[in-house]
Structure 1
């Protein structure tokens, strides 16, 4: 049988070779635009521009799917281009993950990678162009199959339409997303924030701070130089953790914890007692013995705070025992959030446990670290993302489609056995 003649490059119908060449050219065009025109302005896609762009992409995908008899349209809606675009998209995502990202407008790191947009990938022209082509190709693939609808292809429809919706919602959300930091004093209600230009904005959401609470780890004891305040030994200080064991050792000094009060207030010049109040501070009574000289001493040591002075315990002429500042374990805010449409939610916010209300996500952000438990305010990060629900719907469809494909594949395997 005669050898099959090798197909020439750029001869329709196009396959993987042409797809790789075209996508590579698109990336090169994106890098050229990046070097000459700068980064892509994501603000151009704010509502309703993002919806218009989505409609244009869908209309183009419909036209491509309908014109499946045309060789070029068949390539646009074909597997080679979709696989190539997905591969390049993954590569760009890996580069983004390996490169520290900066906020658009911040000072760039310098060098060719930064100039090509590697350190602000989602605003680079190459990423935006590939993203748009992927949405077009993915939509055309899904719609082409929908035109020849078959119920047994439901897993394919869920996968591709869900992925398209999730990708589009993520892009649209990036343009419409807004972030603010709101500082609310305890017992007060706040709805104003500052924008990047320092102007005051009135938000359609308000937060009332009922109570702020800070939980702390027990502090540690350290031996310090009374002259310099440097912890012993210099360079690699050792600590006696009050929550580990009742006894410990730092250098030649043997420690024994006699009493510990986390909420302590000075009772006299050298003693403390427990009082639950905002100005309380951790305090410990310890007995110390020098293993080399046999010298002994005991007394109270206090970390202190903005309400009361710290207390140290002198060991000898050179050294003293001091208590470190207690490290925060977690901080919580009891809040009540209000929206303009009358929605009200009461909850307790803490780190990694945000509140979703309307199209807003409220995160516990910060507090007055110098005041510690006496902080008079709590800071919240407010993120507005009206496209979050469509993104979740797309991800749910994608997961349902993946599960359906696994189930149908397993069933076919059982039927063939």
Structure 2
């Protein structure tokens, strides 16, 4: 039997890998000469036209299905090489800090090669398009064989192809805006990246902003410099209802009383009062072999002055600002169609209306729970339902594949 020569059809793994590496080299050459790929050029309807052209090419390639080139292009070897390279690029993306702007000026070799903005780099884009073409022809070729046992293959591969297609071509249509809404007011205006005001088809009314806080911490500071002691390894005492005694630096500390919602009721004492300007306060005793001191400390806020507890002429006990545990914005959302939705917007719990997703973004960090406004991130993504649908198809295919494998194993055991 005559041995197949290198670069002789049908091409195998070595030829496929070399071709994919050649595509990467071309991509890096374009990256170094032209810079990053501007995917914003693919906004609708350009992405729809290009996507339709890609599908048309896959269909036209079916007329060449008897050729050796088509068998290679639609083979699993090429698709596996492309998926492997795309996974390596994705791994590099995870290991390299990414910049949010594809137009930032490159300052080093990694940036010039597009490693810090991987999804808009030419090597990634060219590998992605090549994979769509190869995987699409592979699916089209296998679909001609209407075999019931291939359901798992069809569902997993079609789901993967649709996910890559919709996620890639739809990326240019995703727009993000930050909206700042004062409590009790309605806002529908945002600013784009160029600083121009835009009116959105959505309006948000902020009814209330609620924040939950963790108990603050106690620290001993240098009264002149404000540095937490000891400076080389700052020590903090976490206020906790289950622990009211402990050690803070070189002092024994005892929390006699802690009030999370406190208001000063004299020059040196606090009482529990539930009101917007309340702040945490604690009655604390500090002891060591040379010192005993007791008094109230409070971190204060915009409504109240802080209070520290002097220990001696050098050091004082202070309370840090409490860290946010959760924050919620109670809003009413209005649409152009006259729809009104009441919703409690939390972090990682967005409100989705049509093609829009509204996220809790931020608040006035200096004011804390006294913040008079909330900021919201509004994301417009008309392709998101298609991306989610493709993930479901991929998931169903994986489940079918597991069941098929289990049934084959069961039949093999019976034999």
TM-score (norm 2): 0.95
Corresponding residue number in structure 1 for 2:349: 353
Aligned to 2:367: 371
Query: Could you say what secondary structure the match of 2:170 adopts?
Result: helix
Correspondence for 1:98: 95
8 Å contact from structure 1 (residues 64, 74) kept in 2: no
Q: Which residue of 1 aligns with 2:74?
A: 77
Q: Is the 8 A contact 1:217 1:328 kept in 2?
A: yes
Matched residues in 1 for 2:296 and 2:112: separation? 59
2:143 is aligned, of 141, 146, 166, to 146
Q: Select between 237-246 and 257-266 the one with higher mean Cα deviation.
A: 237-246
Following TM superposition, by how much is the alpha carbon of 1:12 offset from its aligned partner in structure 2, in angstroms?
2.1
- CA shift digits 1:199-233 (9 cap, x unpaired): 11111111111110111111122222222222222
Match of 1:397? Answer: 393
The residue correspondences of 1:284-303 to structure 2 (distance < 5 A) are 284-289=282-287, 291-293=288-290, 295-303=291-299
Q: Residue 245 of structure 2 is aligned with which of 233, 244, 247?
A: 247
In the TM superposition, residue 297 of structure 1 has moved relative to its aligned partner by 2.6
Unaligned runs of 5+ in 2: none
Structure 1 counterpart of 2:261, from 253, 258, 263: 263
The aligned residue for residue 176 of structure 1 is: 173
Alignment gaps of 5+ in structure 1: none
Q: Which residue number corresponds to residue 227 of structure 2?
A: 230
Superposition pairs of residues 158-177 of structure 1, within 5 angstroms: 158-177=155-174
Q: Which residue of 2 aligns with 1:49?
A: 46
Give, in whole Å, the separation in 2 of the partners of 1:108 and 1:240.
Answer: 45
Aligned equivalent of 2:20, options 13, 19, 23: 23
**1:39 alignment counterpart:** 36
Q: Deviations over 1:323-346 (max 9, x none)?
A: 111111111111122222333322
Q: How far is 1:412 from its partner? A: 1.8
Task: Measure, in 2, the Cα distance between the counterparts of 1:85 and 1:174.
Answer: 21
* Corresponding residue of 1:332: 328
Pairing 1:303-322 to 2, within 5 Å after superposition? 303-322=299-318
Secondary structure of 1:229's match?
A: coil
In 1, Cα distance between equivalents of 2:13 and 2:326? 54
SS at match of 1:90: helix
Following superposition, the deviation at residue 235 of structure 1 comes to 2.5
CA 1:255/1:147 → structure 2, altered by over 3 Å: closer, same or farther?
same
Following superposition, the deviation at residue 109 of structure 1 comes to 5.4
1:59-70 equivalences under 5 Å are 59-70=56-67
Out of 115, 118, 130, the residue aligned to residue 115 of structure 2 is: 118
Which of 273-282 and 224-233 deviates more? Answer: 224-233
1:312: Cα distance to partner?
1.2
Aligned counterpart, 1:195: 192
- Quote how far apart the aligned CAs of 1:108 are: 4.5
Q: Structure 1 pair 355/262, CA: closer, same or farther in 2 (3 Å)? A: same
Shift of 1:296: 2.6
Question: CA 1:105/1:413 → structure 2, altered by over 3 Å: closer, same or farther?
Answer: closer
SS in 2 for 1:155: helix
- Aligned partners of 2:184 and 2:207 also within 8 Å: yes
- For residues 26 and 38 of structure 2, the distance between their equivalents in structure 1, rounded to whole angstroms, comes to 17
Provide TM-score, normalisation by structure 1.
Answer: 0.95
Residue 136 of structure 1 and its aligned partner are, at CA, apart by 0.8
Of 250, 259, 272, 1:274 maps to: 272
Equivalent position SS for 1:44 = helix
